[in-house]
Chains A and B, each alone.
Chain A
Amino acid sequence: MTSLLSIDILLTAACAWGVVGLLGLVAPRNTHFISKTLFPLGALVGVLVGLASLGSLGGPAQTAVLVIGLPDLPFHLRLDNLSALFAMLLGFVAAGISIYAAGYFRKGEGTAPGVLCLEYHLFLASMLVVLLADDAYAFMVAWETMALSSFFLVTTDHRHEEIRRAGFLYLLIAHIGAIAILLSFGVMTGGAGDYSFAGMRAQQLSPFWSSAAYLLALAGFGAKAGLVPLHVWLPEAHPAAPSPVSAMMSGVMLKTAIYGLLRVSFDLVHATIWWWGVMALAIGLVTALFGVLYSTVQSDMKRLLAYSSIENIGLIAVGIGLTLIFHAYRMETLAALAMTAVLYHCLAHSAFKSLLFLCTGSVLHATRERSLGKLGGLIHRMPWVAWLALAGVIASAGLPPLSGFVSEWLLLQSFLFSPGLPHPWLNMVVPVAAALVVLVAALAGFAMVKFYGIIFLGQMREPGLKDAHDAGTWEKFGLAWLALITLLLGILPSTVISRIDAATQQLLGTGLAAKLKEQGWWMLAPISPERASYEPLIFLVTIAATLLLGRWLVRHLYHGRVRRTTAWDCGYYFQGPRAQDTAEGFSQPIRRIFEPMFRMQRHFPTARDTEPYYSVKVEDHFWYWLYLPVARLAGRISTLIVTLQGGRIAVYLMYSFITLLVLLLVARP
């Protein structure tokens, strides 16, 4: 009985989000009502969504048909394990972000709070419908609603020109992606005209058409997820959007794209061909390396996080690629291992990246600064935000015992099995790819130390930072919620995996849960304990016990005396905030080592400068290699077309006449 209810609960929740959004229009300027009543309500709905999906994980698929839609094609909805997993992610993360948003949105310029509330909740509801949709029509309607509502959210501060431009770029790439997805669905129907997912599953496509569908889906969902070269909107849109929206987009919306890619490549299309996986693996590696390198050299804290999201999506794509390769060779246990890594990283990333984006929101509110070069020392003024951000930073750097490490560990474990592939050169090349994954993880550590060290540690780089204040109660609660998820995902991997294993089993037919049941709940040993094991709880307890015991012993055997004085710094006299590394200075080694990867414009001071300064501007190669040429080509084509449009009615009549003549000649009976 309860299993029958889950999809109804989720549908009610989607409607509830819609209603909460509409209620915002009742009093669009009443900030207090909207932020302190409606957003917490939305959060409550989020918790409900999370719990309902968690409850339905492992149960049978549930379907529903809505009467709305086209005359012949009502909305088909279906809640299976894959949808439930991502809906759970959406619900729990959205709850944290909404609670945070209750304290975040204030009176200001830009969109009225009521309209913002509508857009925000519509965004949530549409993401939920995307996950539930069981036919191409419902999927595309929800997908477009999601794109449009998030576009309006990104352009909340539409008075600034660069924000409007960022919004336009986002909308453009979202639509290029949507076209590819639509075409992919078209290919998958196989000309039968049945646009329901059930109909697509029933189609037996030839390898050629399967590959076409897969490639279109990879391009379309890749554009939404931020795979290179369609990543350019992320670093523009994330800094432009308000922080809760950035958190929602990076934490949850990117995962809907991953959901779509998984749905198409493992569920709707049956054939799996090994080079599909190689392709995803290669694109993922390039994306991850590109994202992490660019994230280390950013000077804007939200751009840094946006590039870090690109990196994480790249790692997820690497995992998908590996899963596809194993799946193509029918090595299902290993495919399940890689798939678990993918799903785990989706969960982990959505929590820690939302947490970090929300922390930047608090910093932004407290200081009105986004540029790393004007921050510093905020741990003294904002201890709550600083310590909670540390959890996100450690998870994002892929370090034990938090969530990022678990998925990385699983991914590396599955790489270790790739020499068993029955393919002459794949089994050589793929293990070496693991080296790049490790390089990416280590560079992510560099980026995160930069992010945290420059914002929260050191001396305050601007005098105005002395007035910074810690986050409010609502914000703290939202941050703590997400930090708690990060911690739990980090220390209870076995428990989590046995819950999410249902989705792996649905996609691959086999999972890891049975293996994990043989061991204790504290132990993660996906293949066998002799082969590899990881016990984060014991790990954490050992470090904590040593830490506390060490502290206690030192205090009792010796003393706990502390004196305060000025810093030593080798006796160097000038110790102002300018003596610290800037954001650019910190990443100088990266720019130097990986110089060809960046397009840099640098200005060096000369001996004769009266006001010497150094500046460096790092730009994306892809703008110059891909986007600007395409834009120029589009411009040239449109000027050609403009010459046809003379504006005189006689000319247009002549065009019609010529067309008519040609048609008469061509279409003779």
Chain B
Amino acid sequence: MISISGLLGQAFAILLALVLAPLLSGWVGQCRAWLQSRTAPPLLLPYYQLQKLFHKDVVLAHGASSLFRAAPFVVFGCMVLACAIIPSLSTDLPLAPAADALALVGVFGLARVFISLAAMDVGTSFGTLGGRREMLVGFLAEPALLMVIFTLAMTVQSTSVATIVETLAHRELVIYPSLAFAGIAFTFVSFAENARVPVDNPATHLELTMIHEAMILEYSGRHLALIEWAASLKLYAYSCLGLALFFPWGIAPGDNFLALVAAIPLLLFKLAIGGAFLAAIETINAKMRIFRAPEFLGTAFMLAVLGLLVRLLLESRV
């Protein structure tokens, strides 16, 4: 049954996500700068930017409709829900039954559809281009992500993210080959879904190469702030999901307060390592042409299917 401590834990997880997500983006930016021998921006830069953007007026294009104004809030809501159901500190999340892993993919899909529609709303050349490319990356990444989830769900006999994490965290340390395949595929997918190099470049404004940035060109003020915040929440959600699925150790089971407190520094540590890893991958790779993205994500899909087959062929008796 839903307990008070569970509710508090849930609220805390959401607040932590809201606070930590920009920090994670700032950390990745810093690591990138160090690896590329640049002077690093301050760690808190994303917060300053959010503050600045919230203060500014919204400048809307003449052709912007109500959907354009609603979309940032919808996307933000979707990302908050995603962060709420992914176990970051504890698996005792009252909201977790609301959406299992399949519905989680649906949440990301819903956000993607809204941001793509908003990109098409003003009717500029870059907006439609970005919308089309985002949907392209989306339909390539979604099956791969689902196959990763299928592999895990078959290992654990459940699609509930909390159950998967709980089960994986409390079994003896066995290396499953299927999990290795799934892990690599998941990494590929997270790069594509979070608009990172090699699929997209979050720092670019070079017109022909952008995807995510092209979609949000017309946004300003609080709308842009919400979208940027949602983007960092998405990165946080994917990082937490990856950490929870493949490195689940330390996540508190149930409402054990001490374990919960102990989980916080561990989460920060894991996120710091993960962010540095992301920055390293982004630094040693070049952005690829958009039509190489199908090959990249096709590889991810094949790896995930391979993981599934390995799971079915070799581990079905485990």
Contacts and interface: CB of A to CB of B under 8 A. Distances in A.
- Do A and B pair up? The answer is yes
Contacts of A436: 143
A588 B77 CA distance: 31
Interface stretch (B41-49, B108-116, B276-284): B108-116
A215 B9 CA distance: 56
Interface in B55-107: 55, 57-63, 65-67, 73-74, 76-78, 80-81, 84, 95, 97-100, 102-103, 106-107
Contacts of A86: none
Nearest to B136: A589
B136 A534 contact: no
Given A438-B142, A563-B59, A449 B109 contact: no
B6 interface: no
A435 to B, nearest CB: 5
A377 B106 CA distance: 27
Contacts of B309: 428, 432
Contact of A523 (B74, B97, B110, B125): B97
B154 A419 contact: yes
B81 A542 contact: yes
A585 B128 CA distance: 10
Given A394-B113, A542-B95, A562 B76 contact: no
Interface stretch (B157-165, B236-244, B252-260): B157-165
A543 B62 CA distance: 28
Nearest to A432: B305
A439 B139 contact: yes
A667 interface: no
Interface stretch (A182-190, A226-234, A278-286, A575-583): A575-583
Given A409-B102, A453-B120, A570 B138 contact: no
Nearest to A567: B61
A531 interface: yes
B125 A442 contact: no
A379 B120 CA distance: 12
Interface centre among B116, B157, B222 (most CB of A within 10 A): B222
Q: In which size bucket is the chain A interface?
A: 35 or more
A443 interface: yes
B122 A458 contact: yes
B120 A547 contact: no
Interface in A366-392: 376-377, 379-380, 383, 386, 390
Main secondary structure, interface of A, reads: helix
A427 B103 CA distance: 24
Contacts of A464: none
A570 to B, nearest CB: 6
B179 to A, nearest CB: 16
A453 B138 contact: no
Given A453-B128, A563-B60, A394 B100 contact: no
Given A434-B146, A554-B222, A538 B95 contact: yes
B207 A570 contact: yes
Interface in B302-318: 304-305, 308-309, 312-313, 316
A459 B125 CA distance: 11
Given A439-B143, A531-B158, A569-B217, A542 B113 contact: no
A492 interface: no
Contacts of A547: 73-74, 76-77
Contact of A558 (B55, B124, B316): B55
Given A394-B113, A566-B61, A379 B67 contact: yes
Interface string A409-424: 1001101100100000
A580 B123 contact: yes
Given A458-B121, A569-B126, A377 B63 contact: yes
B257 to A, nearest CB: 24
Interface string A447-477: 0110011100111000000000000000000
B205 interface: yes
Contact of B123 (A376, A399, A562): A376
B143 A438 contact: yes
Interface in B124-176: 124-129, 131-133, 135-136, 138-140, 142-143, 146-147, 150, 153-154, 157-160, 163
A236 B240 CA distance: 49
B132 A532 contact: no
B123 A577 contact: yes
Contacts of A452: 117
Contact of A428 (B59, B123, B160, B313): B313
A539 B99 contact: yes
A550 B226 contact: yes
B294 interface: yes
Contacts of B76: 546-547, 550
Nearest to B67: A379
A632 interface: no
Nearest to A562: B58
A380 B68 CA distance: 12
A565 B98 contact: no
A457 to B, nearest CB: 5
B54 interface: yes
B143 to A, nearest CB: 4
A431 B308 contact: yes
B191 interface: no
A457 B121 contact: yes
B301 interface: yes
A435 B305 contact: yes
Contacts of A651: none
B103 A534 contact: yes
B79 to A, nearest CB: 9
A54 interface: no
Contacts of B193: none
Nearest to B69: A562
A531 B153 CA distance: 9
Contacts of B143: 435-436, 438-439, 442
Interface centre among B84, B103, B140 (most CB of A within 10 A): B103
Interface string A528-547: 01111111001100111111
A553 to B, nearest CB: 10
B221 to A, nearest CB: 8
Given A400-B103, A400-B107, A428-B309, A533 B97 contact: yes
20 contacts: A380-B63, A380-B65, A416-B153, A416-B159, A431-B154, A431-B308, A435-B304, A441-B142, A459-B123, A529-B97, A542-B77, A542-B81, A542-B95, A550-B76, A554-B54, A562-B57, A565-B61, A567-B124, A579-B125, A589-B291
Interface of B: 54-55, 57-63, 65-67, 73-74, 76-78, 80-81, 84, 95, 97-100, 102-103, 106-107, 109-110, 112-113, 116-117, 120-129, 131-133, 135-136, 138-140, 142-143, 146-147, 150, 153-154, 157-160, 163, 205, 207, 217-218, 221-222, 226, 290-291, 294, 301, 304-305, 308-309, 312-313, 316
Enumerate the 6 nearest inter-chain pairs by beta-carbon distance, A residue then B residue, closest first: A458-B123, A459-B123, A442-B139, A453-B120, A567-B61, A581-B128
Given A562-B57, A564-B61, 12 more contacts: A379-B67, A399-B106, A431-B150, A432-B305, A531-B163, A535-B97, A539-B103, A547-B74, A550-B226, A559-B57, A562-B58, A567-B124
